[in-house]
Amino acid sequence: MVSQLVPRRGASVKDVAAAAGVSLGTVSNVLNRPERVRPSTRERVERAMLDLGFVRHEGARQLRAGTSRALAYVMLDGRNPFFTDVAQGIEDAAMADELSVFICNSAGSDSREHAHLEHLQQQRVQGILITPVDPDSAFLAEIVRRGTPVVIVDRTRGADRFCTVAVDDVLGGRLAVEHLVELGHEHVAFVGGPTAIGQVRDRLEGARSAWVEAGRDPDALVHLATAGLTVTEGRAAGERLAGLPRRRRPTAAFCANDLLALGLLQQTIGAGGDVPRDLAIVGYDDIDFAAAAAVPLSSVRQPRQELGARAAALALEEATDPGHMHQQVVFQPELVVRASSRG
Amino acid sequence: MVSQLVPRRGASVKDVAAAAGVSLGTVSNVLNRPERVRPSTRERVERAMLDLGFVRHEGARQLRAGTSRALAYVMLDGRNPFFTDVAQGIEDAAMADELSVFICNSAGSDSREHAHLEHLQQQRVQGILITPVDPDSAFLAEIVRRGTPVVIVDRTRGADRFCTVAVDDVLGGRLAVEHLVELGHEHVAFVGGPTAIGQVRDRLEGARSAWVEAGRDPDALVHLATAGLTVTEGRAAGERLAGLPRRRRPTAAFCANDLLALGLLQQTIGAGGDVPRDLAIVGYDDIDFAAAAAVPLSSVRQPRQELGARAAALALEEATDPGHMHQQVVFQPELVVRASSRG
DNA sequence: TCCTGGAATTGAAAGGTTTCAAGAGATTCC
DNA sequence: GGAATCTCTTGAAACCTTTCAATTCCAGGA
């Protein structure tokens, strides 16, 4: 059901001007350059605004001034703490610049993402930060062509057409697997999917090269594919692992994100297994829940808030500096070792 | 550093009209009443829009049409999955109505909340949904006076001045404690704070009355006050519990939310305790991580998504129906018993 | 050929704000 | 006392879209 919207009109600058006995221009000056108006006048105008419940019409302001004071972030998954932390970083940075941030959530859906993007362009936001469903989508490039800066967060694709801010996922995968190799594991599972997701692909790639470089048997690193990056999928993966005959069963698992790792952890413990004795687990993202898990989770930490802050800065730079050149910022991940892999 | 914003102007309806060789009005008709324009003309106009990269200026549209197509939700804590789930419910409902949703996060800060509210009014959103830092704040009432509908989410205060959508927290507290009483616990801790937060107060009140009505010693229900509702605080509370001499130590804990409960759970298990044998735990909210905890957490479930959906519907009703009366919607919580309290 | 009626298109006005050149008032200096 | 200089204030134009009454166009009927 689409409801009928009714226009709502309140007091305008004109009403305020009339009430305060001044001209439009003066009211505008009170709003935008208060130092230019005589204190006594200013006070009268402010009084009138208060009395009339005046609220400046942002649409009209923007229309005339040609500028908006907002940034937007389109998250890939609003229920994954990783992304809400990135969003927090963006908000903090934007606030320092007196910008507000619209947080949107595509929830992994193409059409939802598209709807948000369309709307944000129409809002004339200063810049769109996005962790896209598909970073190669032509639509993103089209947005830039139409004049809105786009910064890709947490992906390195499309590097020539956008600024990107990402963490080196290949390195992250390496770190995790090098750690497991050092612990002496001969049989490791990589849990994650679908590989259509770039993050998954890169982490797997890093894992594989570290594994091979350590001289391990390539076939002893198995890829346990999942349909998504959720706790539920992690539990399902745990069941599949448990179903393997003991000698073919991995002694360690590296999960493509912490939600998977938490699911796997829960399933393993619930089935009477011991972590890390029976199965060492390393996750990815180091969300707050990782450290708080029953067996604190080893994880590859990404500088989430900094990721967001930097992305905001880049978008703003692109919006304001005509000579802007696209940049690729790559942060280094860091392995945090906790009980789930420490013996 | 506040950066200098530069206006960004693209093609306008006027440009499109010129390119397509039609008048302004026709372009507008293509946008708003396509059925009224002859297919061949429409096609020509659409072609021109595409070529010029035309993006409708939402500010101008709003100015003239007097109506916006957006709703906003101001969350109390963007990092608590409970609120992101509520947000999801709002988004789903809004999308069905072809509205977009601005998600904001006050992160518990008064000033941040204030900044968001100010901005949202200026955006002329159709309605503001909010879980406020302080539901009694006069500012909220002022917003309504100025013409923007406000719906309070997850609080029942201010019931006369706003629509509210909430869950019966007193009942939720009762359910949790009745369950613990049934299990035979004689010594129970309520973990949560600060009591300035209404949710905490209500849940404690429900807990206390259930306790007393069951004929238990009032002093045997201790309130373990925390400074906030986070995992970290939960762990700290666990340490304090563990420090108590055994005979004065509660055998069960009811936590004001799941984050606290997860922290408490982790600390307890980490210190070698057994849940629920040494300490039964019941949380509140039933976030996804609760079921996924190493010892699946009993919790009081709130219909999060429905809470959001209903709030959105109320805001819209208030925005569109001149004869609108404020409503108080109260949902019933539901106890979900899992291993953490099942013996 | 002319008229009629419906369909398609047009053009001007309006909506709230900001900007800026120009005007008014007050103050200072010779 | 008058000119020059400030400090404040003003009024009109512009931003982009939508709306709606008026106009044009066209096909069909007389």
Provide CB contacts within 8 A for A49, sequence distance 6+.
Answer: A11, A16
User: Which residues of chain B lie closer than 8 angstroms to A77, CB-CB?
Assistant: none
Split at pLDDT 50, 70, 90, the class of B294 is confident
Q: From the CA of B6, how many Å to the C1' of D15? A: 15
Whether A8 sits with its Cβ under 7 A from any strand C atom: the answer reads no
CB contact under 8 A, A67 and B7: yes
Look at the domain A169-302 and name its fold. Answer: Rossmann fold (3.40.50)
**What mean pLDDT is predicted for residues A45-50?**
95
pLDDT in tens, A90-131: 999 998 888 889 999 998 999 999 999 999 999 999 999 999
Q: Which helix (H) or strand (E) holds B334?
A: strand B334-336
Q: Are strands B127-130 and A334-336 parallel, antiparallel or unpaired?
A: unpaired
CB contact under 8 A, A103 and B100: no
**What mean pLDDT is predicted for residues B256-283?**
93
pLDDT in tens, B41-100: 999 999 999 999 999 999 999 999 988 989 999 999 988 999 999 999 999 999 888 888
**What mean pLDDT is predicted for residues B165-191?**
97
Bases on strand C under 7 Å from any protein CB: 7-21
**Domain spanning B13-56: CATH 1.10.260:** yes
pLDDT for A2: 42
Nearest Cβ partner for B67 among A5, A126, A142: A5
Distance (Å, whole) CA B68 – CA B124: 6
The edge-to-edge listing of strands for the beta sheet with B298-301 is B221-224, B188-191, B252-255, B280-285, B298-301, B334-336
Split at pLDDT 50, 70, 90, the class of A156 is confident
Whether A22 sits with its Cβ under 7 A from any strand C atom: the answer reads no
**Crossing angle of helices A198-213 and A169-182, rounded to 10°:** 40
Q: From the CA of A10, how many Å to the C1' of D6? A: 37
Token code pair at residue A37? 């108006």
* Closest nt by CA–C1' to B26: C9
pLDDT in tens, B112-155: 999 999 999 999 999 999 999 998 899 999 999 888 999 999 98
What's this model's pTM, rounded to 2 decimal places?
Answer: 0.89
CATH 1.10.260 maps onto chain A at 13-56
**What sign for the dihedral angle of Cα A228, A234, A239, A245?**
positive
Distance between B171 CA and the closest CA of chain A, angstroms: 27
CATH architecture, range A66-167+304-331: 3-Layer(aba) Sandwich (3.40)
CB contact under 8 A, B119 and A9: no
DSSP 8-state class, residue A297: P
pLDDT for B5: 53
pLDDT at A266 over 90: no
pLDDT in tens, A70-100: 999 999 998 899 999 999 999 999 988 888 8
* Cα–Cα nearest to B334, from B215, B169, B223: B169
Which contacts (CB < 8 Å, 24+ apart) does range B217-220 have? B217/B186, B220/B186, B220/B187, B220/B188
A120: closest chain B residue by CA: B58
CB contact under 8 A, B6 and A67: yes
Taking the CB of residue B124, how many other CB atoms lie within 10 A of it? 24
**Average per-residue pLDDT for chain A:** 92
Q: Is the bond preceding A194 in cis, omega lying within 30 degrees of 0? A: yes
Distance (Å, whole) CA B297 – CA A295: 15
User: Which residues of chain B lie closer than 8 angstroms to A4, CB-CB?
Assistant: 320
CATH 3.40.50.2300 maps onto chain B at 66-167+304-331, 169-302
Q: From the CA of B77, how many Å to the C1' of C30? A: 68
Half-sphere exposure of residue A198: CA atoms within 13 angstroms, side-chain side: 18
CB contact under 8 A, A8 and B231: no
For residue B282, list its beta bridge partners. B254, B298
pLDDT for B1: 42
Residues 31-70 of A with CB under 7 A from strand C: 31-32, 54-57, 60-61, 63-65
pLDDT in tens, A219-257: 999 999 999 999 999 999 999 999 999 889 999 999 999
pLDDT for B7: 55
Is the separation of the CB atoms in A151 and A140 below 8 Å?
A: no
Token code pair at residue A153? 């967060």
Strand D: which residues have Cβ below 7 Å from it? A 22-26, 28-29, 36-38, 41-42, 60, 63-64, 66; B 9, 12-14, 24-25, 27-29, 31-32, 54-57, 60-61, 63-65
* Cα–Cα nearest to A288, from B266, B325, B270, B73: B266
Distance (Å, whole) CA A77 – CA A85: 12
Whether B22 sits with its Cβ under 7 A from any strand C atom: the answer reads yes
CB contact under 8 A, A55 and B293: no
CB contact under 8 A, A100 and B121: no
Burial grade of A225 (CB within 10 A; 0-12, 13-18, 19 or more): middle
Nearest Cβ partner for A266 among B58, B148, B293: B293
CB contact under 8 A, B105 and A85: no
